[in-house]
Structures are given as C-alpha cells and as structure tokens.
Amino acid sequence: MSVIVVEVKVNTAGRDGQKLLVPVGITTAHQMPLHFAVTGGRFSLSCETTTGQMAAVIQPEGGSDVTLAYRFGEMGLTYPDNMFQSRPSRFTRAAEALVADARRTANLAADGHAAIATIVAETAEKFTYGHVDVRFNDGLDVIPHLGCGLTKGSCVDINTYLIASLRSAGFEAGYVTGYFFPVEKNGTCSDMHCWVVTRHDGVVLEWDIAHHMKMGKKEICCGLNPKPGQRVAMAHSMGLDFPELGVVEAKLLAEPVWVGEGGALYKSSLEISMRPEEGSD
C-alpha cells in the first residue's frame, strides 16, 4: 500500500491560552487516514454534532510550535455517507430564486447525470477565480441567486454556490475540505482547498471547478486533479458545531484554527508539506 505523510507546522506565537481545533482526516474513494500525531501539545478528541466527525482539540505546551503528522493510505474505499446529507445552515440554505433556477436546469436536462453536469457548468459561468475580502454571501442567511455578470470567488465561494444549487435540484452532493499539493511546488502548499462530490444512481463523481479555472479550461469535466498534483481530505460539510468549545455553525474545517473567547475562530500561520513514506509501495 502506498502511504503519504502530511505534516502541518502551526506557529503558536501570541496564542497563549488558546486551543487549536484540528481536523484528523476522512476516508474517501482514494485514501484513508491511518495515523494522526501531535508534537508540541497535548490533545483530546471532540465530536462535531451535526455530522459526527471527530476533530482534535490541542493545547500547546512548552512554548514551541505545534506539529501535526498525518499518514494516509492510498486505497479506494468510499466517501462518508453522511457527507451527502443536507443540513440547513446559512452556508447551505438557498434563496428561493436559486432553488427555482436549479430546478429549472434539472428539468430541462435529459437525465440526472446531464443535469448535474449542466449545474456545474452554469456555476462555473457565474464566477471568475480569485480571493476577495467580502464574499458574495457574507452577512446573508441564504445563498443568493447570482444572475447576469461574473462574481469573483475562491474555491470556497464557488463550491458553496455549487452545493446549494445541486441540493436545490434534489441531488446528493458533498463538500470536501483538505489540502492540494501542486506538482510544481514539490510537496508543499500554502493553504486549504475544497471540492465537491456528487452521488446519483449509485455513481459518485468529483468536481473541481476552481482548478479548471486556474488552468484556463472552459469546459468543466468530472474528476480530480485537472491541475496535476496530489490531495488529501481532512473534513467535510459546512455549518459545523463543537458545543464544548462554544463553536456554533462554523463555515468549514480544513486547516487548524485557533479557538478564541466565545467560540470565535481565527486563522493560523502554517507550513504544510507532503512526502511519500519511505518503504511504502
């Protein structure tokens, strides 16, 4: 079995008294988490109550940085079943106009698979790729319908809209978060990535609109890594609750985040790397 090792180094400077909330990895159709270890802190596990996912809660110790070490086995299994379940939150609940548009698209398609592909293509046509200070759904309780014109958004924004559209049309769809290591960066990356998985009539398909856009590919097809590289899945779904930490309806969990007073979450400064494990196939 081929095994890859992912290491995430978290800078703890200025975070006295705060804890880290960290995903521990999920099983997918390609990989399964084999081991998780922490140096520079002690950890316990906490259950996310809307999905049942486990995450590590880390208390740094000794004044040093915290390092997370993951081992993933590259073997085909399956995505978690509850990843496809719809749990209404402000990150997944669609506005009436979006619901109507998604259902119109589905009704015009020849079959369910064609409808999914069309919804993916129409979502791609609404966005240009980029990071923004204010997201298209910030401050809203629903995902708004995007009409004419292009909206600038990251993979998080694009896939938020895609998930809302697919579920509005009655399709099973899951939102996956993790890391992507581009070939040209030689086993490093700077932040998280996300993608979407659909399941219809027993067929599971994966979609990565953002990477098609980055490569200038106008036609979006199913499948991972249109941009060459390797990825690992850390968590899934949006609108996550960790009651023991006071965290309510967090948008997502991918990178380690600092938990502040009242359950507020703050980004961490990271160094992320990946390598094959010595001696693995």
Summarised one tens digit per residue, pLDDT across range 98-137 is 999 999 999 999 999 999 999 999 999 999 999 999 999 9
Residue 14, token pair as written in the block: 């200025």
Q: What does the alpha-carbon distance between residue 221 and residue 226 come to, in Å, rounded to a whole number?
A: 9
Statement: residue 265 has pLDDT above 80: yes
Note the pLDDT tens digit of each residue in 166-214.
999 999 999 999 999 999 999 999 999 999 999 999 999 999 999 999 9
- For the chain, count helices (H), then strands (E): 4, 18
CATH architecture of 84-233: Roll (3.10)
- Name the residue ranges covered by the structural domains of the chain: 2-82+238-276, 84-233
Buried b / exposed e over 132-150, threshold 16 CB at 10 Å, is eeebbbeeeebbebbeeee
